[in-house]
Amino acid sequence: MTGMKRTTEKNLMLFSGRAHCELAAEVAELLGTGLVATSARDFANGEIYVRFTESVRGCDAFVMQSHSEPINQWIMEQLIMVDALKRASAKRITVVTPFYGYARQDKKHKGREPISARLIADLFRTAGADRMMAVDLHSGQIQGFFDGPVDHLFALPVLAEYVTRKYDGEQMTVVSPDAGRVRVADQWTDRLGCPLAIIHKRRDPNVGNQVSVQEVIGDVRGRVCLLIDDMIDTAGTITKAAEALTVAGAAGVVCAVTHAVLSGPAVDRLKNSEIAEVIVTNTLPLSDERRFDKLTELSIAPLISRAIREVFEDGSVTSLFDGNA
């Protein structure tokens, strides 16, 4: 008598925290699947409760949560979701963070500072994550903080496709707002076939986050300048860079940024700036109060859904960017 062999089929299951349900729903629709029904609530003292309402045993789980404001709450919720999946016997758990929290604290600038980006990676690994996926990390070294595979997705193809469609590349110069973004800016110039300029800036250590722009390196006179960056937070850097470009004779300024954090005075600064259009993706949720006429929001969902499909089918995430980034 021969024993019967039990066959199991891989099962993709997509989960979403409460930070950015709209993006998760769009990704689910593109994948042709539904979001797993989840019961999530806050206790009176702020503690978070999460329970999935169907079996997740043996599944390939993808847990989406963008680390938006209130950032600590949403990181904790995602950690709890990962823990719940691990204890419910999910086969593999991939943490999907379109915006990875604490990414700017990726090294020690001064003594006695934390490396919080590493701490976040350690927390997810301890909770039970096998893999991580993020869009435009503040620095590539963060990939090495997680003890496991990290899929680093790039928004450049999404943003560049829009820019190419709307603007004349022959009249454009790509501008890096500081020395740290030059490598990414160089990828933009390859994509658009236009020259590169750099803003040399210096932060005033006595005035918190404020930036003093020093000079424009490169020829921008009479050209439309495309400022690129990974995020706009308070918009101090980007608006001062736009001022410097205008003074240097730029015909116009447009900016393309992946993450629209838009904290504090950001919206007012951008509204009143020299920037004609602010192009962002929807890695972070945007409330109505943070939307304004100059803002163009592009969806990152097609990119994330394709990456999830490649991971699930043991394909190549890198192939999504061959020749693009």
Residues with catalytic function: 201
Angstrom distance (rounded) from CA 38 to CA 302: 23
- Cβ neighbours of residue 279 closer than 8 Å, sequence gap 6 or more: 159, 162, 163, 254, 255, 256, 257, 296, 298
Count of helix runs (H) and strand runs (E) in the chain: 8, 14
Give the tokens for residue 108: 């020690």
d(Cα 102, Cα 275) in Å, to the nearest integer?
A: 27
Single out the residue of 306, 301, 262, 305 nearest to residue 283, CA to CA. Answer: 301
The beta-strand segments (E) located in 123-209 are 131-135, 150-153, 172-176, 196-203
3-state secondary structure of 259: strand
- Rounded to whole angstroms, the Cα distance separating 117 from 56 reads 29
Phi, psi of 276 (to 5 degrees): -80, -35
Torsion, Cα of 218, 222, 224, 229 (10° steps) = 30
Closest CA to 20 of 102, 98, 127: 98
Q: 């950001």: which residue's tokens? A: 266
